[in-house]
Structure 1
């Protein structure tokens, strides 16, 4: 039986693609404007055709030609139009930001491909930006094309990912099936939440600014999460600590696990933070706790932005550690300059969440197949 097909628009490094592949999809094509993310996608999705460039310069026919599919044959079109225009971290966010309108390009490609299913992901800010204009525009646009659509906020930690991350997910289909959402697997009454220790405790120690190159693991897997992410990899890649100045190292030495800028002596604080209220900037200069989850992995794991200090080592987390927190498998190597690697990781849909979404869609499909089989048996009986 052939695997269902998927195309990923605004694919970045391919986190959502990797999740769908783990669920059982064949990723036949991807598109992104970022050449560094594209290099990672090409290296990690060798079965897919990559179309580099702005979505505005592409038509549905380009994807059909690349994949050999005809209109209506694609099983799933996935995508996450750039979210910076909606992000709460963008204090000028709103519909005036041209990135806020890229969802219309997604809908244009939908109209030309007419896939059976749609999956679209974005930051929760899309629900409020422009008084909800973009959110309602997405829903209305999908419905106008003949799809049944629903949207929910999914929490990454509910699905075994060691990170507090909330994203709006749209799921739609035009084949008359109900929308099935992935059931929570972790949290109260379920499996324990995955912790930073579960995610990172087997990785080699590093000093500030140290680049381990391609190196071995520090230990055997210490958790099921590590065991799963290490499958298919015999080494650790992208594990290099950014070099921070001496003043930042001195600040870190005062910060315990779970602590933050509030633990830094006043005379060591950056000038701007000396004027801050104790209630401000709650995650700045935060040190992770082994037994808790990470804050949201952003495009810069900068200690000035959030809690990105290693639980025990006086340094900020590496690209590999950020990728572990995002649930990327260890064989998944990120290309380009290190700053661009962080961007790729931070922009990605956690593959483990993508897999849960893909599995939910395939469950809806299998339920339909079972119903039809039962109806056929009944009619023959």
Structure 2
């Protein structure tokens, strides 16, 4: 198998496959380009023709004694030439053209005859049988479907194998234990092998992906198969309901080729975005886990709306109280819960039990736990009547809320209810354990019934989409004690398990998980593979891709991993291809090169918009000082760029492009910087206001020929008023003196690498191009694509953290559009799709007159 790689950038894509080339050659080429994903066993991908030819010097065709032979009659020549035309391209010219179309050095083996039956070691094999295949030097057998049998012009006997993968030989690798040992995955990887490599017939049952293997309803078989494994984007998809004639050169299952033309055709079915909005908009309920301030769900909802689906964030969960305040303000329709995800999981499980106890949800078994709890309520009421007259009796007036955890900080975790006591005000509300409220059965039923109707908590089946980015701090490069052997043993990575447990319990139609690219880099991608394995074990279709924020209309690069999951009954969402011309930065592991959502080099038919620069995003914002304290202020100037027009649009226009809104009437929120201390402020004031300026431009610093810094022996060290040095030692030693980031100014014509959570200028470029301060909260929010109407809460440092931890809104919006298309059944079968032209700037523009008005 070839070790060549496809190089990717966000500006290029591979040429459209030559229609003269066969499907089999195209698929084989795809496989060769990803040699590191090995099918079936060990490091060798399959018993290749080249290898097995060395094992066998010559194949005998004697009818009686040959260990491998074909059984007569052969296919009629006329039928064979139609079905496998490339096997009969005898003319040299045709063979040369075929080699060119395949872009492959391996020549197509020419056939003399094709057969439908063969006999190997007294076992008869039919065309389309499944079989074990043995290669010399390999301990394990491979598994394939026989899709072609032919005698070559030189007398050699061959079969073409289309390979199955065991779980351990897919991208899941070490997490194969999550998946049934008898489960295999069909692929589009195929090649030619000597006939005598066949060793045993197999019975591989093809079953619907929806079949529940836990109910022992699998048919008797050696293995079973319910999914295709496609190498691009590490995709696992349900088997097609119908196939063309397997074994012919024009046969295909779901193509693994990236064909953006097909994607465009799918999108053209609904015309432009405005037409899509005119479609019926079904309500789609979303749960945002590890929601932060809500950037991911905001973007998904905006994109879903543009596709014609009314995606609504019904529930959100996060541990950061300030992030929850921000989300609650900007999404008043959302039930926002400020708690740990594992407590939320325990809560929804208890909530289902309560709903069953109150006969709101059907149950096969009585909910004995609560039956016993409230069984003696009458007796307790009688005992209460016998209490002394001077003893105060507290009566529950109303139950207000529910949680699982330790709200009273007593180190006793459990289910608690927030109680309003009769005769007392809200200041006296308390959290009480449910087992201490055994005399409040009717109050509890009233609360549960009301909560069930208003869906204060989701039940299994209520959630259409779960999105979220479980924190995996154990893979951070700043963590010196990372567990490389088993990252899941690190407590800092446990939230990935909790996230998957919530998916397994609530069973949404769609899952979208986001994380840093290190999830596929650290420990050979251990955690990324685990996430894939968990979803596959739950029978979700999955695919994984890496997307750069700048490729969707932002002046920052910021690469992140996004993993789609979809129930077998749903279309698996595609990845939206880039809209802007940005080249990928950073290192992607070789094994996951095919997971970068990007156009491939050599494609000439893509017209991308120019990459955005810092000036495009923030040049309209008013100047502020280092000590600015206002959380709200007027804009002063009209928008200057298309990006600024869009980012300043009112919420109503964002969600309804048919609305001709007036310019934004809300003030400019959060346009204030982290106030630098006196020393840092004095340092920033001395950084020249020009491109590339940083601490190296300060007095006393000299840059050596190797670009590292050193103290200038000819210049006396300068000190600040406080007595501290103008150039701190940490700036000189940062990255062994090779870094230019400390106290560096950004510049107008640059694309920022990544918006970070901390605003200190000590080790990163975060200083404004022309003002003596760091970038404001709003400027960072602009770089993340937050709409200007999005107001943040909490201390200044906390607001920076919310913005820095967020998913870039334009990326989430593009994914939301793909999700909406899939929800409506309009997604294509390829892993990627093209967004509508001018997305999302198709939004109706205000008139030139109104756009000049100052909000």
Q: With structure 2 as the length reference, what TM-score do the two structures score?
A: 0.41
Deviations 1:137-192 (A, max 9, x none): 11111111111111111100000012120111111111352440011000064111
**Mapped contact 1:87–1:126 kept (Cα < 8 A):** no
Alignment match, 1:80: 469
The CA deviation at 1:131 is 3.5
Aligned to 2:580, the other structure's residue is in SS state coil
Counterpart selection for 2:773 from 315, 337, 354: 315
What RMSD in Å do the two structures reach over aligned CA positions? 2.3
Task: Indicate whether 1:6 and 2:286 are aligned.
Answer: yes
**Mapped contact 1:211–1:239 kept (Cα < 8 A):** no
Alignment match, 1:207: 625
The CA deviation at 1:301 is 2.0
The CA deviation at 1:291 is 1.4
Counterpart selection for 1:180 from 567, 574, 578: 574
- Separation in 1, partners of 2:735, 2:294: 40
Task: Indicate whether 1:147 and 2:540 are aligned.
Answer: yes
The CA deviation at 1:28 is 0.5
Aligned to 2:476, the other structure's residue is in SS state coil
Alignment match, 1:374: none
- Please identify, of 307-316 and 261-270, the stretch whose mean Cα deviation from structure 2 is larger: 261-270
Q: Return closer, same or farther for 1:63/1:3 CA change in 2, 3 Å cut-off.
A: farther
Task: Indicate whether 1:192 and 2:610 are aligned.
Answer: yes
The CA deviation at 1:4 is 1.6
Structure having the higher helix fraction is 1
**Mapped contact 2:821–2:827 kept (Cα < 8 A):** no
Aligned to 1:58, the other structure's residue is in SS state helix
Aligned to 2:576, the other structure's residue is in SS state coil
Alignment match, 1:301: 759
- Separation in 2, partners of 1:93, 1:22: 37
Alignment match, 2:679: 247
**Mapped contact 2:472–2:496 kept (Cα < 8 A):** no
Alignment match, 2:797: 339
The CA deviation at 1:115 is 0.7
**Mapped contact 1:149–1:179 kept (Cα < 8 A):** no
Counterpart selection for 2:329 from 43, 47, 50: 43
The CA deviation at 1:264 is 2.9
- Please identify, of 81-90 and 30-39, the stretch whose mean Cα deviation from structure 2 is larger: 81-90
Aligned to 1:322, the other structure's residue is in SS state helix
The CA deviation at 1:272 is 2.2
Alignment match, 1:238: 670
The CA deviation at 1:117 is 0.7
- Separation in 2, partners of 1:218, 1:294: 25
Structural mapping, 1:89-108, within 5 Å: 89-94=478-483, 95=487, 97-108=490-501
**Mapped contact 1:8–1:29 kept (Cα < 8 A):** yes
Structural mapping, 1:321-360, within 5 Å: 321-360=779-818
State the aligned residue count.
371
**Mapped contact 1:301–1:316 kept (Cα < 8 A):** yes
Aligned to 1:85, the other structure's residue is in SS state helix
- Separation in 1, partners of 2:736, 2:579: 36
- Separation in 1, partners of 2:611, 2:546: 18
- Please identify, of 241-250 and 117-126, the stretch whose mean Cα deviation from structure 2 is larger: 241-250
Q: With structure 1 as the length reference, what TM-score do the two structures score?
A: 0.90
Q: Return closer, same or farther for 1:68/1:278 CA change in 2, 3 Å cut-off.
A: closer
Alignment match, 2:727: 269
**Mapped contact 1:295–1:307 kept (Cα < 8 A):** no
Stretches of structure 2 lacking an aligned partner (at least 5 in a row): 1-280, 306-310, 353-451, 583-606, 651-663, 702-716, 718-725, 830-855
The CA deviation at 1:247 is 3.4
**Mapped contact 1:7–1:77 kept (Cα < 8 A):** yes
- Separation in 2, partners of 1:15, 1:276: 32
The CA deviation at 1:92 is 4.3
Q: Return closer, same or farther for 1:277/1:262 CA change in 2, 3 Å cut-off.
A: farther
- Please identify, of 261-270 and 29-38, the stretch whose mean Cα deviation from structure 2 is larger: 261-270
Aligned to 1:170, the other structure's residue is in SS state strand
Task: Indicate whether 1:125 and 2:558 are aligned.
Answer: no
**Mapped contact 2:674–2:759 kept (Cα < 8 A):** no
- Separation in 2, partners of 1:62, 1:270: 55
Q: Structure 1 runs of 4+ off > 6 angstroms?
A: none
The CA deviation at 1:277 is 6.2
- Please identify, of 124-133 and 212-221, the stretch whose mean Cα deviation from structure 2 is larger: 124-133
**Mapped contact 2:543–2:565 kept (Cα < 8 A):** yes
- Please identify, of 61-70 and 164-173, the stretch whose mean Cα deviation from structure 2 is larger: 61-70
Alignment match, 2:594: none
- Separation in 1, partners of 2:616, 2:480: 34
**Mapped contact 2:542–2:563 kept (Cα < 8 A):** yes
Alignment match, 1:222: 640
The CA deviation at 1:362 is 1.6
Task: Indicate whether 1:17 and 2:435 are aligned.
Answer: no
Aligned to 1:172, the other structure's residue is in SS state strand
**Mapped contact 1:229–1:329 kept (Cα < 8 A):** yes
- Separation in 2, partners of 1:89, 1:350: 23
- Separation in 2, partners of 1:347, 1:315: 22
Q: Return closer, same or farther for 1:90/1:315 CA change in 2, 3 Å cut-off.
A: farther
